[in-house]
Structure formats: structure tokens, C-alpha cells
Amino acid sequence: MTDSSRFVLKQEYSVQRVKRLAWDLDWDVVDLRREEAGAFIDIWITYDKRAEVHHVDDEPIGMRYLTVRGEGRDEVVRQIQENCDLWGHGEARRELREATDRNQKLVALYAAVLTAPGEQEDDLVEELGVAARDEDPGVRQAVVIATGYLPWPGLVSLVEEVLVHDSVEHIRENAAILLEGLRGGGQ
């Protein structure tokens, strides 16, 4: 397992249920509703102080996820997997392929990106390429935003194509901003 693990919560798994889980597992509150880049983060530490759990309410993309860090993360990961309604990567990709409306596409797209492995998956890049050509500008914009979470070379190339070819000015502008930031120009 990596140094940090991320688990994407399905929308039906409420914030209250996350807080109840923290209570039931005797996690100590470190911080509630810390704001970072438009997201709100609740932070707990396990009773034995061996793992830290962050609940990220990422309002800009409409997703919530848990991250776990620390030497005691394996036990916490098991507890999260047993108790939470989570997106699986394969499930998210299937939903992305089958989505018929904007909301379904956005949720599945972000879930697929947030659950993706560290190594580039060319077939996911291809699926996001389809989304980058969607008739809905909101879906195309989501591909640009999602690349900020998962800057695989194939996705960066896809955003470069969006920069040149998208018909909507603000999407092209956001693609340029993302690419500048990824290249270190935003520092």
C-alpha cells in the first residue's frame, strides 16, 4: 500500500455517516471544515495515533473522499472498506461509458479519475478523450479539471488538444491555466 490511500465515497454515503463512522471507531477530531482550494476537510486521528483520516468534501467537483495516512493505515483502510459505500475504479469506468446525462457523466468521470491507479491506463485516457469531445461543454471542462487530479502524460496531451481545438473560450483558457501550472509556470 502507498503512503496515502484515497477512497471515493458514493454520493448516497452522507457526511453524517462519515462522522458516525469516526465516532464508532473512536477517532479523535483534529480539525473540522478546514477550507482548502474550495474543498472542506475534516481531519481525525485514530485513537492509537498511528493513522490520520481526512474526509475531503471537494465541492468544486461535487465529490467526497477519504484519505488515510500513517503507519496504522492498513487497519483503517480495512474499516473504511467494510463500512463505507465506495466507488470502485472498474465500476466508475463502466458508469462513465454508460452515462447518458450530464450529471451521470460528471460523477462517473471524477470517480474514475479519483480511483485511478498511479500508472497510466491508456484505455481510461481514451475514454476521457471521448468525454473531451462531448457535445456538453461542462463535460469537456470536467476533463480539464480532472487532469489536475491525475496528470498522466496521456491526459496532459488530451488537455493540449482541448487548448487548441475546443470551441468554448473559457474551456481553452482553463486548459492553458492547467498546463501552465503543470509545467511549473504557476509557481
Supply the pLDDT for residue 23.
Answer: 95
Of the chain, the end-to-end C-alpha distance in Å amounts to 31
Spell out the per-residue pLDDT of the chain, length 187, in tens. Answer: 344 579 999 999 999 999 999 999 999 999 988 888 889 999 999 999 999 999 999 999 999 999 999 999 999 999 999 999 999 999 999 999 999 999 999 999 999 999 999 899 999 999 999 999 999 999 999 999 999 999 999 999 999 999 999 999 999 999 999 999 998 864 4
Domain range summary for the chain, segments of one domain joined by +: 4-83, 89-182
Size (the chain), residues: 187
Buried b (16+ CB within 10 A) or exposed e, 87-117: bebeebbebbeebeeeeebbbbbbbbbbbbe
Give the residue from 104, 83, 100, 101 showing the smallest Cα distance to 92: 104
pLDDT tens-digit readout, 74-85: 999 999 999 999
